[in-house]
Amino acid sequence: MVAVPAASLVFAFFASGLVLLATGHDALSSYRRLFDAAFLNRGALGDTLVSATPLAFTGLAAAAAFRMRLFNIGGEGQLYIGAITAAAAGLYFGGSGGPSAFAIAAMVVAGCAGGAAWALIPGILRAFFRTNVIITSLMLNYVAGYLLTYLIFNSQSYWRQTIGFNASVFPTSKQLPNSAIWPAATVHVHGGVALPLGAGFAVLAAGLLWVLYSRTRFGFEANVLGDSARAARYAGMRTRRKILAVMAISGAIAGLGGASQDGDFRHTLDADPNGLQRQFYGYSGIVVAALARYNPLAVLLVAFLIGGLQNAGNTLQGADFPSGLVGVIQGIILFSALGGELLVRYRIRVRRRERAGSAPAAEVT
């Protein structure tokens, strides 16, 4: 089970090394710098957690749905909607004092509900009209993005800051009140690492998801449905309900990721075109889920590693370390992981015959 991903990682390591060499970098020292910047430098772990937490949420959201072969790639939009609803709850219930459990709980509930509702749109379309979830959920990402922009830039919405000098110059969103800002626990090692509350929620969600899928009737039905819809129907499982439920769970987790963005990191509804919408957490989450083979606990680990890579990329980018390089490395890792999966099932065979064009490149063994 572990051999193939491990071998894929080793392959990715070498392939990326070639890319580094080709771009005029010393591969080994570049890796060293990446690793230091991701995990070892002062403050690196904390920054890595900032990148990893949203990836854990969107990764879990994707894993939850993909396990039942519901290809919800709408994590991006569900996260936006969760951020919008959670910000509303934070603005409405938050007071000026210290962090309030009530305000935070309200944000969590609102974020989950918002994400779930958004995911239910493709869910309902799939369950009752058999539309393709990939297309509908993807399209709704754009809708959610435009909605987010509209709320702050094109309307006098509840989320928009309308008072003050800055607000009259440039559209901004309201800052969350203090009690709606999520507290972080600080671990006193290596100069202090801040553990965001959202990271705790992600670990909790992963645990619950794992129990749900491996220990409950619900998970049993989802596994059967993901494997064979006909067998599920034969066994009398309620297919439509299950689709709705799984989409709602998936959306809720992504929405919670949005709430965590508000409460943990941005402390406002971030509609900046170069802010939240440039991070593509929802899409990266799909990569995380795929690398983790849709196992919720593995999602946490992969999110941490990919988060570290992204954090290192942000830290190191500059003249001698182009920012695109980290994206290239990330792509190579995904490519080799998926390629490794494929090679488990296929065997490449070189044909000796000279008549080209007729030989299949790979044959099923």
Partner 1 sequence: MPTLPEAVSERGADGAPLAPAVSMRGITKRFPGVVANDDVGFEAAAGEVHALLGENGAGKSTLSNILTGLYRPDEGEIHVYGERVEFHAPRDALDAGISMVHQHFRLVDRFTVAENVALGDHRREGRAFRLRSRAIERRVAELGERYGLAVDPRAHIWQLSVGEQQRVEILKALYLDARILILDEPTAVLTPQEAEVLFGTLRELAADGRTIVFISHKLHEVKAVSNRVTVLRAGRNVATVDAAEATPRSLAELMVGRGLGEGVRAAPREAGEVVLALDDVWADGDRRGAAVKGVSLQVRAGEIVAVAGVAGNGQRELAEAIAGIRPATKGSIRVAGKTPRAGDPRAAIAAGIAYVPEDRLGTGLAPSISIASNFALKSYREPPASTGPLLRLRRMRDRALELIKRYHIAAPGPQVPVRLLSGGNLQKVVLAREFSGRPKMLVAGSPTRGLDVGAIESVHAYLHEAAANGVGILLLSEDLDEILTLADRIAVIYEGQIAGETARADANVEEIGLLMAGGQDPRRD
| Binding stretches for partner 1 (CB under 8 A) | 215-221, 223-224, 227-228, 230-236, 351-353, 357-359
Backbone angles phi, psi at 345, to 5 degrees: -95, -20
Query: How far apart are CB 221 and partner 1 at their closest, in Å?
Result: 8
**Nearest residue (CB) to partner 1, 98 versus 236:** 236
Angle at 113 between CA 109 and CA 118, to 5 degrees: 155
Burial of 154 (0-12, 13-18, 19+ CB in 10 A): exposed
**Nearest residue (CB) to partner 1, 40 versus 359:** 359
Instruction: Name every residue whose Cβ is closer than 8 Å to that of residue 143 and which is 6 or more positions away in sequence.
Output: 77
**Nearest residue (CB) to partner 1, 235 versus 342:** 235
Query: How far apart are CB 202 and partner 1 at their closest, in Å?
Result: 23
CA gyration radius for the chain? 22
**DSSP reduced 3-state for 294:** coil
**Nearest residue (CB) to partner 1, 274 versus 358:** 358
Query: How far apart are CB 365 and partner 1 at their closest, in Å?
Result: 9
Query: How far apart are CB 69 and partner 1 at their closest, in Å?
Result: 11
**Nearest residue (CB) to partner 1, 185 versus 362:** 362
**Nearest residue (CB) to partner 1, 93 versus 213:** 213
**Nearest residue (CB) to partner 1, 164 versus 357:** 357
How far apart, in whole angstroms, are the C-alpha atoms of residue 356 and residue 347?
19
Query: How far apart are CB 120 and partner 1 at their closest, in Å?
Result: 22
**Nearest residue (CB) to partner 1, 32 versus 215:** 215
Q: Which residues of 237-251 are buried (b: 16+ CB within 10 A; e: fewer)?
A: beeeebbbbbbbbbb
Angle at 330 between CA 328 and CA 335, to 5 degrees: 95
Instruction: Give the helix/strand (H/E) hosting 364.
Output: strand 362-364
Query: How far apart are CB 363 and partner 1 at their closest, in Å?
Result: 10
Query: How far apart are CB 238 and partner 1 at their closest, in Å?
Result: 8
| CB neighbours of residue 118 within 10 Å | 32
Structure tokens at 90: 């934070």
Query: How far apart are CB 218 and partner 1 at their closest, in Å?
Result: 7
- Convert 77-124 into a string of H (helix), E (strand) and C (coil): HHHHHHHHHHHHHHHHHCCCCCCCHHHHHHHHHHHHHHHHHHHHHHHH
Q: Do 242 and 63 form a contact (C-beta atoms < 8 A)? A: no
